[in-house]
Structure 1
């Protein structure tokens, strides 16, 4: 099944239809014509999953904020405050990437948006290309961890782990990763001053300009805090919080005169298209997973994991390697649909906390975004920069940030409380 899936992907067949076709073909081979009902039952189950209603709402919220030019304003605001600091532009990229992740929960939006907005500024001030490209890809992928992450919504729906707790754990892990990225950038900037210089005095913003730029992002940041705060405290479910976020975004856009009916209408159409794409991926993955499980794939993976040397730690290493391998080829939502139902029960049976594993799963998945040869963040940025940057230089730029993520993964494995303290605090 995986061989056929990879062949279809290499032939350029969209991931959703590759998954569905593979599942249906193998169902026909194994069980005959009646088994094609697996496809319709998979679609029915996806469309009737209440938790997944948060996906179109968060997508709509993110597109509305994008239409309001919030991403550009965020970068401009943080960039003006970071002028005297070496590496300030690269640090700005990481911070804005985290905030964009909190706004959209969509990795592509973060990487492409930062590539278009931040890279020209970094090149203008003669930042090292490797540091610039790496920080954009690393910062843009923080939407994988920083809530409201769409992938966490899907993971929670597939495994039964509380989405609110996943959001809280993801925030804890995200803070750790952001801190490591900033420490690395500062280390490079002060070790090699020419690689990430501070802005020249004449280019630095005045206090009046800094305050003016800050005012433009106060309302969106308050909205994010209110939405996430209501979810963390249990006042609302993630789905209800997403609905509040959409209404709040529309009101802010109208109040600031950045949204009109035309932009709202276009946002609705774009949200519909993106939601349709996500839904087809989920349906295709559900079909593939059902057949894969039916032919004994889950048992095979479980047996391989249980035979790994080193007891439960061997099982954990096997699970991480399995996700990284799939992450090199599959889109993240498809990967979650395939891997989470297979691997998560094995990990829980080995004695690990399902919430801790869910956060670690997301962190490993984020690393897969940067991992050659098919790291999606690499190709997102390539689409933004075009022929100006060769693909080999993008691969090279990911290496330091992949190593940083590996360090973060090791720390979270050795010190589980680093990601469970916040979920435990809000829901003891």
Structure 2
């Protein structure tokens, strides 16, 4: 039995991957593996301890922000904000080479700040932006890649559900992590746009500017801003109140929901039926998040009990290169998990294991949290289970083969990796805004 106990952490991950490949939802795969190994290792009585592990995670005030941010995002979606935001940015940028792809990046960032949900960004852009780029004969790889790159900015641009979970699990200030995520998000946007411009001007036909007759007049451009002014002001108020410490993330989320309802009914974009639909949809999404947290908490408790945390720590400490070897090992560990796991489950599994190792190695926990989020964004694009790939596929249907979508992710994965390396070389880029706000 001792040999089984020694290899139990590895066996847990192997069984988890098998269940995922069989198509079993991540939440139930995590929970099932945890319960199964608890029964094998310690018998039926041990399962009585698992609810306490789950309760320790779920009984966290910070996590109340999750259903509120989800409700806010769904309400904004019901008001057709996404299509109007793209229309506005599209009118202002369409006259430049690569303008539509740049619009996808900018709108993805705005959608990320509005919803904090990657699926909303990728699917929304896939339905709205991709047809426009196909119409003007944009390079297919550039079109698909910019949509997934822009759509996944919801992972790093606050307010962000994953940041709330990470802060609740590790104790890192959520408001500081929001600020760090914003500075890292601007860096990603800059790198994405530079890449698009290089491609647009290196290959004349890769991303042509709109024909003069198709460009919006100045009056149309100004008019297009009116429809998105109130939602943008709302986001600034929500994020600003959290950054400045006026409100906690939970309180900021509540203000966001109230503001969204007032804007929706005030502009007659929202009615009682749409509100009911939004409440039902957000309840389903919250339930899904809750089950992921429960499954991950169960898996993590058993994984720690069989020595998994210690095994990972020993491997990190054995990595050559001292503290930098520990950092590289930790990043590779997250990237590997990101190829297979949903991001929230990945946070629940990896953050409690890796974060103490990184802090013990002498790295700033806030800087690491921001870097963690940047690397986590890569998980949405990395095969075989990059969720952004399947979100986009669900939006485009049979119009685009999935192998083309896979291929389109590669340059944007490389850019995300480049940004991660930049943050390692220049850590101030990740923490300057939190430090500025805290002083």
Task: Report the TM-score, using the length of structure 1 for normalisation.
Answer: 0.99
Deviates more, 1:6-15 or 1:271-280: 6-15
Separation of aligned partners in 2, 1:407 and 1:48: 38
Separation of aligned partners in 1, 2:319 and 2:55: 37
1:157 and 2:168 matched: yes
Question: Which one of the candidate residues 72, 76, 95 is aligned to 1:65?
Answer: 76
Q: Secondary structure at the match of 1:319?
A: helix
Question: Which one of the candidate residues 44, 60, 75 is aligned to 1:49?
Answer: 60
Unpaired segments ≥5 residues, structure 2: 1-11
Question: Deviation per CA, 1:142-172, whole angstroms, max 9, x where unpaired?
Answer: 0110000100000000100000000000000
Q: Over aligned residues, Cα RMSD in angstroms? A: 0.8
1:355 aligns with 366
Question: Which one of the candidate residues 149, 152, 156 is aligned to 1:141?
Answer: 152
Separation of aligned partners in 2, 1:30 and 1:350: 32
Separation of aligned partners in 2, 1:59 and 1:289: 25
Question: Deviation per CA, 1:206-248, whole angstroms, max 9, x where unpaired?
Answer: 1221122110000000000000000000000000000000000
Separation of aligned partners in 2, 1:176 and 1:277: 31
2:348 aligns with 337
1:406 and 2:411 matched: no
In the comparison of the two structures, how many residue pairs are matched?
Answer: 428
Question: Deviation per CA, 1:99-136, whole angstroms, max 9, x where unpaired?
Answer: 00001111111111110110000000110000000000
1:417 and 2:428 matched: yes
Deviation at 1:333, TM superposition (A): 0.3
1:261 and 2:272 matched: yes
Separation of aligned partners in 2, 1:403 and 1:47: 36
Question: Which one of the candidate residues 208, 215, 221 is aligned to 1:197?
Answer: 208
Q: Is the 8 A contact 1:107 1:144 kept in 2?
A: yes
2:6 aligns with none
Q: Is the 8 A contact 2:50 2:301 kept in 1?
A: no
| Structure 1 segments (4+ residues) deviating >3 Å | none
Separation of aligned partners in 2, 1:38 and 1:368: 32
Task: Report the TM-score, using the length of structure 2 for normalisation.
Answer: 0.96
Alignment of 1:178-257 (within 5 A): 178-257=189-268
2:7 aligns with none
Deviation at 1:402, TM superposition (A): 1.1
Separation of aligned partners in 2, 1:222 and 1:380: 29
Deviates more, 1:314-323 or 1:203-212: 203-212
Separation of aligned partners in 2, 1:34 and 1:387: 51
Deviation at 1:386, TM superposition (A): 1.1
